[in-house]
Amino acid sequence: MKEKIVVTGMGTVNPLGHSVQETWQGILEGRSGIGKITRFDTTEYASKIAGEVKDFEIGNFIDKKEARKMALFTQYGVAASVQAMNDAGIKEGDVDPERLAVVYGNGIGGFEALEEAYEKLFSGGPKRVHPMTIPKLITNECPANIAITLQALGPAYTVTTACASGTDAIGNALMLLHSGLADMVITGGTESSITRMGVAGFNVIQALSTRFNDEPERACRPFDKDRDGFILAEGAGTLILETESHAKKRGAKIYAELAGYGSTCDANHLTAPHPEGLGAARAMRIALSDAGMKPEEIDYINAHGTSTPTNDPLETKSIKTAFGDHARKVKISSTKSMHGHVIGGTGAVEAIISILAMREGYFPPTINLEEPDPACDLDYVPNKGIKGTINAVMSNSLGFGGHNAILIFRKAN
């Protein structure tokens, strides 16, 4: 029997707020964190909206001098992780630093550091490139900085599977704890790609919404017939995972059990999901098997629900394949409708929301779902959240490259 793995701390920075409490309040209000892009001039851009993190002060979490060595995606991850460790109530001697690990997801790295370096390279030559360019740019610098900040001396590494990165990181943390190589893992995901290159790159593959530039709060509309693309967002989410015995020994509060993880690859297309959603369905089944659960035991699914023409009906199809008759009974929602698509960080942010939904007995809404696509015919909790008993939740992340990652959380005994 594998030892239970539990969640004992959480932290987040995202378009809905700079903490778990602010984020959950935004969910309860059904509030959109989407607005017009303020970082750069969007005159020549087809999509002019995003989920920016507003009024973020890294000095509230770490020394500003140290933060200058970090790109924004790392700052978000460090801030969320400091919050999560504080929330976990770690005291001196509670955890052996050599058995404290960091597993963190990220899709792209320090895009703004790369763009700044290119500008200096092309305008002034190679000697103008800042010496911190590479340390800011590369994806592993986020878990490295988290480890330095929180003195985690165990394994520390990045998982990069596009939009599934945060979810896969949490799944890898689960496996690391089951392996016996760590007692506690700081895990989650982060992203900050609302830059000229980031938005341009997603624009040219027609992935972003362009129809609602003048009404940004209405733009992310998963499963709606008028959806036309996802909304790029930024931020981070961190969970503190530890073995149940370790958590109980130190008297920790326990939010939930991380009961199951499933991961597959469609091996089909670089950007499009499998046309029958088979890879995603298989990942759901693997997660259920890992948790030792039946589909009927899942009360809520936090869907990937990107608001793209392709994803939403195929995810619907994959849920039907994996859940059978229960697909029409389980409540499903896409909280991206409120916080946008945080790419490598989205699975971690959504895992936090899923855990809170279970603890608070509240099914989050899918806002902006005004007229469902006929191909999206399940219960997506349209526009207004619903109170109810939730004993187990599934959180889905489906990434470019055909990466499918699924987590299952259930109430701790």
Percent of the chain at pLDDT exceeding 90: 96
In whole angstroms, what is the distance from residue 162 CA to residue 203 CA? 17
Active-site amino acid positions: 163, 304, 341
In whole angstroms, what is the distance from residue 189 CA to residue 76 CA? 9
In whole angstroms, what is the distance from residue 81 CA to residue 266 CA? 31
The verdict on residue 254 lying in a domain is no
119 plus 143 within the same structural domain: yes
Helices (H), 107-208: 111-124, 133-137, 141-150, 165-179, 196-204
318 plus 225 within the same structural domain: no
Structural domain that includes position 55 = 5-249
Q: Rounded mean pLDDT of 356-374? A: 98
In this model, does residue 155 exceed pLDDT 80?
yes
Q: What is the pLDDT of residues 298-352, one digit of tens each?
A: 999 999 999 999 999 999 999 999 999 999 999 999 999 999 999 999 999 999 9
219 plus 351 within the same structural domain: no
240 plus 333 within the same structural domain: no
Tally of structural domains, the chain: 2
The verdict on residue 145 lying in a domain is yes
Q: CA of 183: how far to CAs of 89, 99, 170, 407, in Å?
A: 15, 6, 14, 20
| Mean pLDDT (the chain, rounded) | 97
243 plus 319 within the same structural domain: no
Query: Among the three residues 249, 279, 294, which one is the final residue of a domain in this structure?
Result: 249
The verdict on residue 255 lying in a domain is no
308 plus 382 within the same structural domain: yes
201 plus 289 within the same structural domain: no
pLDDT band (50, 70, 90) for residue 413: confident
The CATH number assigned to the domain holding 292 equals: 3.40.47.10
pLDDT value for 271: 77
219 plus 279 within the same structural domain: no
208 plus 268 within the same structural domain: no
pLDDT band (50, 70, 90) for residue 128: very high
352 plus 380 within the same structural domain: yes
In whole angstroms, what is the distance from residue 115 CA to residue 133 CA? 10
137 plus 191 within the same structural domain: yes
DSSP type of residue 225:
T
The verdict on residue 256 lying in a domain is no
Q: What is the pLDDT of residues 200-212, one digit of tens each?
A: 999 999 999 999 9
